[in-house]
Structure 1
Amino acid sequence: MNNTALLKPETARDEVYAAPLKDLNPAQPALFQANTMFSIFERLRAEDPVHYTPESDFGAFWSVTKYKDIMAVDTNHEVFSSEGGITIGDQPMEEGPLPMFIAMDPPKHDIQRKTVTPAVSPMNLARLEPLIRERAGKILDGLPIGEEFDWVDKVSMELTAMTLATLFGIPQEDRRKLTYWSDVVTAAPGQGLIDTLDQKFEIFVEYHAYFTELWNQRVNADPQPDLISMLAHGEATRNMEPREYFGNVVLLTVGGNDTTRNTISGSVLALNQNPDQYKKLRENPDLIPSMVSETIRWQTPLAHMRRRALQDIELGGKQIKKGDKVVMWYVSGNRDDEVIENPNDYIIDRPRVRNHLSFGFGIHRCVGNRLAELQLKVIWEEILKRFPTVEVAGEPKRSYSTFVRGYERLPVIIPSRL
C-alpha cells in the first residue's frame, strides 16, 4: 500500500484495514505531513508488530511498532548497531554518511558523548534556567494581542535558537542560522526549503565553514563551557577528523533545535485540541512538568530511529538477517495500549507520565532530554503568568518527514493579556 499518502483523515482507518497487510508501508513522508499514519501503526501493532517492507523509497526495512519490542532493540546495541546512520533514509553525502556519536557504537560513542555531556549537566541547567526564563518572558511580552501570528516562528523557533546559540557559544544575531541549517539537514528536495540535493550540499559548505571557523577560534583559546570548546579541547575529540567534527555539529544542531521547538508548538496544539486539559492546566499550574512529559509522548518529535542488525536474530517471531535495516517507530510505541492506558488521549496528569519512548533508551538515550523539558517547563510557566489562553487559529502546516514530527507553521491568536 504505497499510495497511502493519499489517505484522507476521515477514511484512513477503513482504507488501512482494507489493504493487504503485507503492503503496509509506514515510511512515507506525506503520511506524516497529513498526520494519517496512526491507523497503519495501529494495525501493525495488532497484527504484525515486527513487519517487513521489501520495497520503499528507503529500501527494504523492518518496522518495530510495539513498546516492548522497541525497548528490546534500543537497549541491545551489541546486536542492533547505530553505525552509519540513525534515520531510515541514508544521508546523501558523496563521501558516505557523516560520522557522529549517535551513529556510532561503543567505545567511541561513549567517549565522544561524555565530552559534551557537561553542557547539559544539572549544574549547567541550573545556571541556564534564569537566562531561558528571561528570554522566554521577553519573547512573550513582544507578541501581538488580538491578531493572528505564527507561533512556530515567533516563539518555538526563537526560544530554542537562543538556547542553542548559547550552548554553541555563538553570537545571538546568528541564532536563526542554526534554525535554518537544522531544517536543511532534514529537508527533502522539492518540499519548499530546498529544490535539489546540490543546493543542499552548497548550504552544507557554508554551514561547515562557519563551524570550522568556530573550531579554529576555540582550539587556540582557553577552554570555555560551550559545546565547540568542549569538542576542541576534549582529550578524545580534539584530534577528530573534520568530517567527524561536522557530523557531531549536525547532530547537536538538529538534536538541540528540532525536538524542543516542535514540542513547544505541539503543546499549544494539544491543549487547544483538548480544552478540558487546558482548563486543568490553567487551574493547576503545578501540572506543568507532567503536561510537558505528556506532550513529549503525544508529539514524539522524532518519529523513529533506525539500527542495522549485526547478526541473525529473532524478534517478535520474525527472523531478522544480519545487515537488515531495523526501524524503531517511537511514534507507534508511544501509542501502544499494552503499556500506556488510553494512549491516543492527551492526559496531562496521567500516572507514570514519563513512561514514554520519545527520548530513546539505552546508550543512545537523548543527551539533552532534561534541557528540552526545562525549556518547555519555563515557557509554559511564563505563558500562564501572562495570557488567559493561546488559541489555535487554523490548521498547522506539518513537516514533510518520516523522521522529524514537526510544524512549519501554527497560526494562533492571543485574545488578551492577564
Structure 2
Amino acid sequence: MSQAAIQDTPEIDHVERARTMPLEELNIADPDLFQADAIWPYFERLRKDAPVHKATSPDFGDYWSVTRYEDIMAVDTNHHVFSSSWEHGGITLFDQISDFQLPMFIAMDPPKHDDQRKAVQGIVAPNNLKNWEDLIRERTGYVLDSLPRGEAFDWVDNVSVELTTMMLATLFDFPFEERRKLTRWSDVATGRNNPDIVESDEQWRAELLECLEYFTNLWNERVNSDTPGNDLISMMTHSDSTKNMDPMEYLGNIILLIVGGNDTTRNSMTASVYALNKFAGEYDKLLANPDLIPNLSSEIIRWQTPLAHMRRTALEDIELNGQMIKKGDKVAMWYVSGNRDADVFEDADTVIIDRANARRQMSFGYGIHRCVGNRLGELQIKILWEEILKRFPKIEVLEEPTRTKSVFVKGYTYMPVRIPA
C-alpha cells in the first residue's frame, strides 16, 4: 500500500507508523500528511534517527531532508555551497517549468540578489513601520468591530485574509477595492500542485499571466513619475537593479512580495487564535499579562512555521552530519522541524507565550535570504492582539481548522470561531 493510500485510512496511528516504518520508505514531503497535521511524529523520527535523510517523492523526485535546527542553520548560512538560484531549481521542492520560469531575488545568488533586495527593503525600514503603525491599528480595529457576536464565522476569511490583504494593497499602492486579487494570486502561486486551488498547469500559468498583465499596467502608470511613490512598484521602477527586468523576472518578484507579505502573517494570525484555544492556560496567562504580546508573536511564528521549508541545491559535493550530499542534489531545510527541535526549544510542541528563547525561531530563515518583511509581520500580529484584548474576553475556536494541502505553505483555509455575546 502506498503512503498516500495509508494516509487516507482514518484509523491509522501515525505515531506508531512513524516509529516503525523503514527510514528508506519515509517521504515527509507528502501534502496529505501536512493537511492532516500528521507530520510531527515523522519529523521527530527524522530528527532522532536520520537528521539528514534522503527520500524520493512522486511529486518532487529525490531530495534530502534537513530537520535539526543547527544543520538547517548550517545550510541556510552557506549560500556559496547551497544555492537558492532559480537557475538551479529555486526555493521549493517543485522544479520550475522549463518554459515558464520565474526569477525572483530570493531565488538568486549574490550579487544580483543583494542589489534587487536593496531596491525594495526600504519599504520595511523602521521609519516606514512607525508611520504605518497607526494605519494598521485603525484597520485592525475596524475589522474586529465588524465581527458578529454570539454566532459562528470564519476567522481565516473575515480577519486573517482581510487584514493581510489590506496591508498588501498598501505596500503595492494597489487598487483597494480589488485587493482580494492579491490573495488569489498568492494562493495560485504556491498552489501549483494543489487541486483545491488550480486544476492544471495551464490554469496556473493563465492566472499568473493575468497577475503579470495587471501589475504591468501599474508599472506603466508609475515608471514615468518624477517623484517615485513610497510603494513597492515605484521602488522597482526607479531602482537601477530592477528597472530593466524582463516580464517574467518582474512577475517572479511580484509573486515573491505577494506571498511574503501574505502567507506568513495571515497563517500566523489564524494560528494565534487556534493555539491559545488549544493551550487554554496560555490564553489565561495572556489575559493576565498583556505585556506578553510581543513574545507571543514570536512564539506563534515558531510554533506555526507558516512556510514549512525552503529548498537549496548543492553546488558541490559536501558532507553534512555524516551524509554525503552530491553536487546537484535538492536539499529541503525543514524550518517546521527545526522550530520543534527539543535540543533548542524545551517542550517544543507546546505554545509557551513567555518562552525565553522564542525569538530564536527560524521561520524567517537565516543568512542573506532572511525574510525582508519579518518585522512588519510581527508588528501586524502584535497590533492584532493588542486590539483583541481591548474588545473581547475570549475568541472560541469551534472545531479543528481546515489546513492547506501543501508541503510549502503551512496554513489554514477555514476556522470557525465565535466571540461570546
Q: TM-score, normalised by structure 1?
A: 0.97
Q: Which amino acid aligns with 1:227?
A: L
Q: Is the 8 A contact 1:188 1:400 kept in 2?
A: no
Tell me, yes or no, if structure 1 residue 192 matches structure 2 residue 196: yes
1:122 Cα deviation from its structure 2 partner: 0.6
1:252 Cα deviation from its structure 2 partner: 0.2
Residue among 404, 411, 418 paired with 1:406: 411
For 1:405 and 1:206, the matched residues in 2 are separated by: 25
Q: Is the 8 A contact 2:307 2:363 kept in 1?
A: yes
For 2:101 and 2:119, the matched residues in 1 are separated by: 22
Match of 2:38 in 1: 36
Q: Is the 8 A contact 2:101 2:248 kept in 1?
A: no
Q: Which amino acid aligns with 2:384?
A: I
SS, match of residue 310 in structure 2: strand
CA change 1:190–1:231 in 2 (3 A) is closer
Tell me, yes or no, if structure 1 residue 20 matches structure 2 residue 22: yes
1:16 Cα deviation from its structure 2 partner: 1.3
Report the more deviating stretch, 373-382 or 171-180.
Answer: 171-180
Match of 1:86 in 2: 91
Report the more deviating stretch, 404-413 or 54-63.
Answer: 54-63
Match of 1:347 in 2: 352
CA change 1:234–1:190 in 2 (3 A) is closer
Match of 1:116 in 2: 120
Q: Is the 8 A contact 2:403 2:414 kept in 1?
A: yes
SS, match of residue 257 in structure 2: helix
SS, match of residue 3 in structure 2: coil
Match of 1:152 in 2: 156
Match of 1:297 in 2: 302
1:78 Cα deviation from its structure 2 partner: 0.2
Tell me, yes or no, if structure 1 residue 229 matches structure 2 residue 229: no
Match of 1:183 in 2: 187
Tell me, yes or no, if structure 1 residue 288 matches structure 2 residue 293: yes
1:393 Cα deviation from its structure 2 partner: 0.9
SS, match of residue 61 in structure 2: coil
For 2:17 and 2:9, the matched residues in 1 are separated by: 7
CA change 1:194–1:309 in 2 (3 A) is same
Match of 1:53 in 2: 55
Q: Which amino acid aligns with 1:413?
A: R
Report the more deviating stretch, 109-118 or 48-57.
Answer: 48-57
Match of 1:2 in 2: 3
Deviations 1:138-166 (A, max 9, x none): 00000000010000000000010000100
* 4+ runs deviating over 4 angstroms: 7-10
Deviations 1:257-283 (A, max 9, x none): 111000000000000000000000011
Q: Which amino acid aligns with 2:300?
A: T
Q: Which amino acid aligns with 2:3?
A: N
Q: Is the 8 A contact 1:25 1:56 kept in 2?
A: no
CA change 1:180–1:146 in 2 (3 A) is same
CA change 1:7–1:72 in 2 (3 A) is farther
For 2:415 and 2:377, the matched residues in 1 are separated by: 20
1:228-267 equivalences under 5 Å are: 228-267=233-272
Tell me, yes or no, if structure 1 residue 106 matches structure 2 residue 107: no
CA RMSD of aligned residues (A): 1.3
Aligned residues: 415
Q: Is the 8 A contact 1:397 1:409 kept in 2?
A: yes
CA change 1:15–1:7 in 2 (3 A) is farther
Deviations 1:170-206 (A, max 9, x none): 1211111101110111124563222222112121121
Q: Percent identity?
A: 58
1:96 Cα deviation from its structure 2 partner: 4.2
Q: Is the 8 A contact 1:390 1:415 kept in 2?
A: yes
For 2:186 and 2:150, the matched residues in 1 are separated by: 31
Report the more deviating stretch, 169-178 or 68-77.
Answer: 169-178
SS, match of residue 109 in structure 2: coil
Q: Which amino acid aligns with 2:186?
A: S
For 1:274 and 1:55, the matched residues in 2 are separated by: 34
Report the more deviating stretch, 294-303 or 11-20.
Answer: 11-20
Q: Is the 8 A contact 2:29 2:57 kept in 1?
A: no
1:241 Cα deviation from its structure 2 partner: 1.3
CA change 1:368–1:390 in 2 (3 A) is same
1:6 Cα deviation from its structure 2 partner: 3.5
Q: Which amino acid aligns with 1:243?
A: M
Residue among 217, 220, 242 paired with 1:216: 220
SS, match of residue 305 in structure 1: strand
Tell me, yes or no, if structure 1 residue 127 matches structure 2 residue 128: no
Q: Which amino acid aligns with 2:14?
A: A
Report the more deviating stretch, 32-41 or 235-244.
Answer: 235-244
Deviations 1:22-78 (A, max 9, x none): 111100011000000111110000000000014432010000000000000000000
Q: Is the 8 A contact 1:313 1:320 kept in 2?
A: yes
For 1:267 and 1:99, the matched residues in 2 are separated by: 33
For 1:8 and 1:398, the matched residues in 2 are separated by: 16
Q: Which amino acid aligns with 2:330?
A: K
Q: TM-score, normalised by structure 2?
A: 0.96
For 1:190 and 1:77, the matched residues in 2 are separated by: 30
Match of 1:70 in 2: 72
1:339-418 equivalences under 5 Å are: 339-416=344-421
Q: Is the 8 A contact 1:190 1:196 kept in 2?
A: no
Q: Is the 8 A contact 1:49 1:65 kept in 2?
A: yes
Q: Is the 8 A contact 2:27 2:56 kept in 1?
A: no
For 1:172 and 1:38, the matched residues in 2 are separated by: 39
